[in-house]
Amino acid sequence: MTWPRDDAKLQRVRALMEEEELDALVVRAPDNVLYLTNFWGMKGYDACVFPREGEPVLLCLEASAEDAERTAWTSEVRLIRGYDPADPRPPLARTLDAAVEAARGYGKVGLELSLGTQASDRMVGEPTTYTKAWFDAFPGAADATPLLARARAIKTAQEVERIRLANELAAAAMDHVREHLRPFMKESEAAALWQGYVHGVGTGWRGGKVELALPFSLVWAGKGIKTFTATGERPVLEGEPVLFEIWVCVDGYWADHTKNLVLGELRDDYEELLRGLMAVYERAVAHCRPGASLAELDRLVRDGLAEMGYPGQPTHPICHGVGARAHEPPYAHQAGGGTIEEGMVLAIEPGAYWEGGGGLRVEDNFLITRDGAEKLSPFPDGVVRVG
């Protein structure tokens, strides 16, 4: 689907550029290129020069010319050769040459100097990284990462629509797994059910609103539930939860959930943990209103888990932004600052884990409205019974 140019988003970026007296941004992280141009590249060899005044320039591989023509909001697209018989350098070196040329004449330029993570391109398998030459080519550049984080934290109506698509698809895939999950399936087989639905049914989702849907997951059964480990071959057993830590990406916009299924009746110890965790989760969601403190949100969740008997948990963040990346600012941290604002989309994810394996996490995405937090996924929280 070709989305109309999101002028509200671009105007906010330019207003922030004016505040910081930046004449142009030069970005090459796939999520920032997407954010500013609506072009989602295949290999991460693309870039954008986005001026405070005037038209932006998209730089992309020749092989992506048709995609750029169809999806990009920029009127000027400069094509980069993926292979040049006279130039043995990798394609990104030619992208850099083109970026330097496109940025020539601008005074103060902003670069993604402090970017720690970036979203994947459409191909995913070989994420690109920045070379020293990229930074050396723009001496005296300002760090544009905080500016872009501020702009991206507040979603436009179009961005919310795109995030809703990702949330709806993630939920539909969970409904599919709920219908087909069976005892003694491996974690990896349960994951394949979910991933196959997202990619197979999600590509072309909602009558073609989604051009490409990509799934990412960690699936753990019973004692396999931990804070950070790979999906394995542990079997799905009756009475023990199966936890789906899942990301859906639809044309560059993301959903990030943790959903749980159980075959039969949930075991008593898990049921007790679930009751306490859901009480903490519901208090956290109720806290999320415009003007509320992000630091207090983190403290509220961690204090609640400590009262349950899980001090120091979880080891992962309990709240972060979602949009053109699955994890993006703002983050809630008790030693940090910041407030929750209308228009943010936040993932809230408390979890508690047992020594030796087992535990639970719940997570959904919430749009912050003037009245509070609106849950974006139609799939239930907690632990959902199969059958």
CB atoms within 10 A of CB 201: 15
Nearest to 117 by CA among 320, 318, 331, 325: 325
Its pTM stands at 0.97
Residues whose CB is less than 8 angstroms from the CB of residue 100 and which lie 6 or more positions away in sequence, other chains included: 137, 138
Cα distances (angstroms) measured from residue 112 to each of 62, 200, 274, 308: 24, 34, 41, 41
Instruction: Please give the structure tokens belonging to residue 163.
Output: 């995030």
Start-end of H helices in 184-267 = 187-202, 205-208
d(CA 376, CA 166): 9
d(CA 256, CA 38): 21
**For 123, how many CA atoms within 13 A lie in the half-sphere containing its CB?**
10
Instruction: Please give the structure tokens belonging to residue 142.
Output: 């300002």
Tell me phi and psi for residue 383, to 5 degrees. -120, 120
Length of the chain: 387
Task: State residue 289's pLDDT score.
Answer: 98
Per-residue confidence in pLDDT tens, the chain, 387 aa: 689 999 999 999 999 999 999 999 999 999 999 999 999 999 999 999 999 999 999 999 999 999 999 999 999 999 999 999 999 999 999 999 999 999 999 999 999 999 989 998 999 888 889 999 999 999 999 999 999 999 999 999 999 999 999 999 999 999 999 999 999 999 999 999 999 999 999 999 999 999 999 999 999 999 999 988 999 999 999 999 999 999 999 999 999 999 999 999 999 999 999 999 999 999 999 999 999 999 999 999 999 999 999 999 999 999 999 999 999 999 999 999 999 999 999 999 999 999 999 999 999 999 999 999 999 999 999 999 997
- The four Cα atoms 335, 337, 342, 348 give a dihedral, to 10 degrees, of -10
Task: State residue 277's pLDDT score.
Answer: 98
Q: What is the 3 state secondary structure string of 196-220?
A: HHHHHHHCCHHHHCCCCEEEEEEEE
Task: State residue 16's pLDDT score.
Answer: 98
| Structural domains for the chain | 7-153 (3.40.350.10), 157-386 (3.90.230.10)
What string of DSSP letters covers 104-170? Answer: TT-SSEEE-TT-------SS-SS-----HHHHHTSTT-EE-HHHHHHHHHSPPHHHHHHHHHHHHHH
Task: State residue 127's pLDDT score.
Answer: 86
> How far is CA 215 from its chain centroid?
12
Task: State residue 387's pLDDT score.
Answer: 79
